[in-house]
Structure 1
Amino acid sequence: MMAIIAFLAISPLLSLLISSLRPSAELIRNGITLTIPWNELSIKNYINMFTNAGNYWTWYLNSLLISGLTIVLSLFFSSMVGYALAVYKFKGQQFIFILVLLILMVPFEILMLPLYQLMTALGMIDNYIAVILPMIVAPVAIFFFRQYAIGLPKELMESARMDGCTEYGIFFKVMAPLMLPSFAAMAILQGLGSWNNFLWPLVVLRSNTMFTLPIGLSTLLTPYGNNYDVLIAGSVMTVLPVIVLFLIFQRYFISGLAVGGVKG
């Protein structure tokens, strides 16, 4: 049964991979299917993508840069906020946490207009910063890190203070290594969210050379012609960074689940 479920889950990716090896004319005729026309399969679409793909690789690099910076900055700031809300007692702590929960419940579409006005006032439209800045302190990441940091042993903090370690040193040298599974999980989630983000980059980006992959690939479908060869092959290449991201962080993620199972 698990094998059947796994096949159903991976079948869209298989159909996309097979379609990327089919000629554009045959693809338009029969659509995307799991049928394998062995006599028509070729790598011409990939050759065309590498040699005559227009701005595809510019979009690819844009997405890599934006997603990479979003992951790093989001993990850095969100983990510090969540950690502070979990281990320190200060005035307004619960109020700040309630604000985080309230923002977490508000759909991004409602926040999009004031965010756009803010980016316009700051002169950041059609800039990488406009895409990255609203995402670097994500409410869901703050909530996740706070819940994880609550379970950290507070005795280690007291021992580090007795050894003369500063509060920043405690976080970066003592607590952050214990939070690696949470960093891995959020890196995967934030990376997927940023890599697949379509609406917000579409709102703030203007020039073709600044587009991310989701926006760039959507421009290949026009009323005047559809560039299916680059679109399908490019979509397959789009999956690769997501797979690499998961492979990099999976052992930390799985080890975190194992540790949690032992503690339970």
Structure 2
Amino acid sequence: MILMYIFTQAGNYWGWYMNSLTISAITIVLSLFFSSMVGYALALYDFKGRNLIFGFVLFILMVPFEILMLPLFQLMISMNLINTYTAVILPAVVAPIAVFFFRQYAIGLPKELMDAARIDGATEYGIFFRIMLPLMGPSMAAMAILQGLGSWNNFLWPLIVLRSNDMFTLPIGLATLLTPYGNNYDVLIAGSVMTIIPIIILFVFFQRYFVAGLTVGGVKG
């Protein structure tokens, strides 16, 4: 009875569900793509300012998100992105934790493969996409789970930048079921049951790479 209420009458449940799926999927893809490139460059290329950039990444890791919310919100306003998917996704495209993770993993990749590829005439982008990126598969799988979990459960930032009911993500939408006139925790819990399915699917799909990605990435050499 409660599940039927959630699916048929509780606001825009399936719309919220699709919003969360869309945002999480795009966030995972973009974050893995750009963060892996940054981490790879910091690990295997020697250029001026590399240590400074990595130090900046570590500094951002130590800054609570609550401190960054106001400048990020002002940036979204200036870019006219309030109440859009882009406003939710953009701050997570290059995640400091993902950059750090990929850098630590890429340090253990053999540079000899890069030299051999250059001798064969491969471009730097070709080396990354055709040789190094496949070797980073375990780290990509592990970070896909972590980034997917974080994006799927993200509540605070979407709450700040999203305005209309049809744009809400699932955590925000479910929170609207609680009103000052009644705490319908039974309805809220029933609606939360379906929220674990995408994370379970994501973990099952990538779980065989998860442990390898976490352990190998922390070993140098």
Aligned alpha-carbon RMSD (Å): 2.0
Q: What is the aligned partner in structure 2 of residue 83 from structure 1? A: 40
With the length of structure 1 as denominator, give the TM-score of the two structures. Answer: 0.79
The Cα offsets for residues 153-193 of structure 1, whole Å up to 9 and x where unpaired, read as 11111111111111111111101111111001111111111
In the TM superposition, what whole-angstrom CA distance separates every residue of 1:11-48 from its partner, at most 9, and x where no partner exists?
xxxxxxxxxxxxxxxxxxxxxxxxxxxxxxxxx22223
Any stretches of 5+ residues in structure 2 without a counterpart? none
TM-score between the two structures when normalised by the length of structure 2: 0.94
Higher relative contact order (CA 8 A, sep 6+): 2
Is 1:162 paired with 2:129?
A: no
Question: 2:147 maps to which residue?
Answer: 190
Aligned to 1:97: 54
Residue 203 (structure 1) aligned with residue 160 (structure 2) = yes
Q: Partners in 1 of 2:121 and 2:43 — Cα distance?
A: 22
Contact 2:142 / 2:211 at 8 angstroms: preserved in 1? no
1:47 equivalent in alignment to 2:1: no
Matches within 5 A, 1:22-61: 44-61=1-18
1:3 matched residue in structure 2: none
- Higher gyration radius (CA): 1
User: How much identity, in percent, do the aligned residues show?
Assistant: 75
Report the AA paired with residue 92 of structure 2: M
1:1-264 alignment runs, 5 A limit: 44-256=1-213
- Matched residue type, 1:80: M
Please state how far the C-alpha of 1:253 moved relative to its aligned partner: 1.9
Structure 1: unaligned runs, 5 residues or longer: 1-43
Alpha-carbon deviations, 1:52-102, whole Å to 9, x = none?
Answer: 232111111100000110000000000000000000011111111111111
- How many corresponding residue pairs? 221
2:32–2:143 Cα contact (<8 Å) kept: yes
